[in-house]
Amino acid sequence: MTTRPAERSRARIGETLPAAFAEFLRHPSPWLIITTLTGAVVARVAVGDWQLRDLLIPVILFVAFPFIEWGIHVALLHWKPRRIVGMKIDPLVSRKHREHHVDPRIISLIFVPWQVLAWLLPALVLIGVFAFQAVGLAFGLTFSVTALSFLMVYEWIHYLIHTDHKPKYAPYRAVWKNHRHHHFKNEHYWFTVTSSGTADRVLNTYPDPQETRTSKTARNLYALNGVV
């Protein structure tokens, strides 16, 4: 008997890393990112012109990414639908994220929606090609490769947290706990995904879980689905 998607989402998913990775590759989002990243890497190698300043981009993004992640999560993914000048503003990515909170086990809702990747991936490449013209194409492509790599890491870690693979090592265990607190304890805290206690700690969204109330709307953001 064929398992329906909703049923499959609640089956045991990826208890081992190979099983988790095999499931990961069954979805379009990783392939879209991998394809774009491969193209950017090929272009960067073809251009050459390697310099020490290329190392600046990975270092800057490594420091900035938790804050970028936090800002997107708070401002966009947790966007509350509202009317502005008579128009209802409720982006697709915000709607999909609310669905993700309702049932974090639905695999298709874990990934960045393909509709978002359709413009985001070209944008990350075009930014590298055109926004860094003053310092050269090589440096710009270094940005594109690095940004796409960080997006790939985000997609993998977020997916892995929602599988049945249990953390064995302390760094991943901290990230795993952080995100599960966000989903099952209180949706108003723990907004970073690929790190734990970084931007959340700086921006005061990293409380002691033992002293934090369990939210009634963690699975139903803003109680918009009629069930609390």
Q: Where are the domains of the chain?
A: 22-166
Question: DSSP label at 150?
Answer: H
If you average pLDDT over residues 96-102, what whole number do you get?
96
pTM value? 0.91
Per-residue pLDDT, 4 = 46
Closest listed residue to residue 107, CA positions, set 64, 58, 164: 164
Per-residue pLDDT, 50 = 94
d(CA 39, CA 52): 23
Q: How many CB atoms lie within 10 A of CB 9?
A: 18
The conformational region for residue 223 under phi > 0 = left, psi -120 to 50 = alpha, else beta, is: left
pLDDT band with cut points at 50, 70 and 90 for residue 98? very high
Which amino acid, 154?
Y
If you average pLDDT over residues 68-86, what whole number do you get?
94
If you average pLDDT over residues 52-80, what whole number do you get?
96
| Residue where the block lists tokens 């860094």 | 132
Question: DSSP label at 36?
Answer: H
pLDDT tens digits for range 179-216: 999 999 999 999 999 999 899 999 999 999 999 999 99
Per-residue pLDDT, 228 = 36
Question: DSSP label at 88?
Answer: E
pLDDT tens digits for range 7-44: 445 546 778 899 999 999 999 999 999 999 999 999 99
Number of residues that make up the chain? 228
Q: How many CB atoms lie within 10 A of CB 142?
A: 25
Q: How many CB atoms lie within 10 A of CB 137?
A: 16
The conformational region for residue 79 under phi > 0 = left, psi -120 to 50 = alpha, else beta, is: beta
Question: DSSP label at 89?
Answer: E
Residue 72 has pLDDT above 70, yes or no: yes
Burial class of residue 191 (count of CB atoms within 10 Å of its CB; 0-12, 13-18, 19+): buried
Per-residue pLDDT, 5 = 47
